[in-house]
Every structure is written in structure tokens, then in C-alpha cells.
Amino acid sequence: MSQTCDVVVLLSGTGSNLQALIDSTRTGDSPVRIAAVISNRADAYGLQRARDAGIATRSLDHKAFEGRETFDAALIELIDAFNPALVVLAGFMRILSAGFVRHYQGRLLNIHPSLLPKYKGLHTHQRALEAGDAEHGCSVHFVTEELDGGPLVVQAVIPVELHDSPQSLAQRVHAQEHLIYPLAVRWFAEGRLTLGEEGALLNGQPLPASGHLIRN
Ligand code: GRF
């Protein structure tokens, strides 16, 4: 692979998805290069993971800004200094302004711990259990102005087991996140994944509404 795809990762927390991405770039033939990891929290463990991997880090405290737009404008400036082809949200606990989302249209991915469109927002594992769902999982999607609402790229489905707790479910879903996020990022880096007028395209073909489905 001669071309590399520069990626900036945004996170607020522990960054296990970042770690999965880092590990996936160590295969030798990966087209992905993580150019920087940026957090709104200076103490996010994900920043330490990045430093350990020799990746540039930045932090930008949202509390130091007057409003969402001002923070997002500063964040855009910070991100664009690395000139990324793709921006990856990996547990970035901020609602993004419309301006931010538009700026990165077609090159902004998110991962969410539910089978979207089910359970947008928080506490997804508990909500799936309370609803008595037989299946649960996680989704990678392009980000649009609708929170957790953009076109789906890939979903991993796992069965809910009789004795599952929100914690046990979260653990198994997390393991799936660590598989599907690197996969989606790789597709993007290879130029195979794009956002068309009607939704996500893989190899130029429209993906189903659920995205590419991986059943376990
Ligand atoms: C994941 O559950 C992801 O789906 C959600 O935020 C969490 C981040 O986890 N968007 P980690 O920091 O990558 O471990």
C-alpha cells in the first residue's frame, strides 16, 4: 500500500477503541496512520495510550470556552493542523455543533454501543436488557447532524444471554467494537467506504440500511 490515510481520533475516556485502532495499524500493510489523538479531557487515559504509541496528543478543555460553537471552532483548528482525511470519534463525550459536522461531512465516523437506530444516547446496555431484546450490539456510522443518526456502515450483533447484566453485555459489545471500528476505518482508508447522497457506499455499492451486518 503506497498511500496512507491520516486519521485524527477524538476521545474523552479510556480509549479502548483507540487501542484497537492502534493495534490494527501495526499489521504492516495498514493504510491507516493515526496522526493525532485529541481529547476535551486532559486526564483521559486514551491520551496516555496515544503517548505510549508515539502518537501526537492535544487536549482542549471545553469548559474554557463560552459556547459550543466557539469550542468546536477551536477544535476544528486543532484537528485541521494535522490535515486528516478522516476524523474518528472514539468515546468523545460531546455533542457536536452543526457547523462541525458539516465541516467533516463524509469523513467523520462514530461508534455507538447499540444496534442503531435502537437506543441512541446513553445507557444502551441497560435499555436493551430492560426491553427484553434477544440481540444487542454496536454500530459504526457516518456522523450527520442527527445525534447517533447518520448512515450506518457496519453493525456487529451478539445474542443477549439469560443471565446478562449491563456490565457483562457491555463487555461483549466492547469486544465487538474493537473488531468493527478498525474494519470500517480500514475500508475508508482504502477508499472503499464513502458517503453518497443516499447513504454509505462500500466499493461503490449502497450498503443496506443496517450497514454491513456481522452476526455472532
Ligand atoms: C464505547 O462504548 C463507544 O461505543 C462509545 O464510547 C465508548 C468508548 O469506549 N461511543 P472506549 O473509551 O473506547 O473504551
The domain locations on the chain are 1-104, 113-216
Q: Which residues line ligand 1 (CB under 6 A)?
A: 11, 13-17, 90-91, 111-113, 138, 177
Give the DSSP letter of residue 63: G
**Strand, coil or helix: 115:** coil
Q: In terms of CATH, what superfamily is 113-216?
A: Formyl transferase, N-terminal domain (3.40.50.170)
Q: List per-residue pLDDT tens for the chain, 216 residues long.
A: 458 999 999 999 999 999 999 999 998 899 999 999 999 999 999 999 999 999 999 999 999 999 999 999 999 999 999 999 999 999 999 999 999 999 999 999 999 999 999 999 999 999 999 999 999 999 999 999 888 899 999 999 999 999 999 999 999 999 999 999 999 999 999 999 999 999 999 999 999 999 999 999
What number does the ligand 1 atom closest to the CA of 20 have?
13
| pTM assigned to the model | 0.97
Give the DSSP letter of residue 27: G
The kind and range of the H/E element at 11 are: strand 5-11
Residue of 48, 111, 125, 147 to mutate, ligand 1, most atoms within 8 A of C-beta: 111
208 prior amide bond cis, ω within 30: no
Q: Exposed/middle/buried for 114, CB within 10 Å: 0-12, 13-18, 19+?
A: buried
> Whose Cα sits closest to atom 10 in ligand 1?
91
Q: Which residues contact 99 (CB under 8 A, 6 or more apart)?
A: 69, 72, 73
Architecture of domain 1-104: 3-Layer(aba) Sandwich (3.40)
Residue of 174, 176, 185 to mutate, ligand 1, most atoms within 8 A of C-beta: 174
User: Do 151 and 200 meet the contact criterion of CB atoms below 8 Å apart?
Assistant: yes
What number does the ligand 1 atom closest to the CA of 18 have?
13
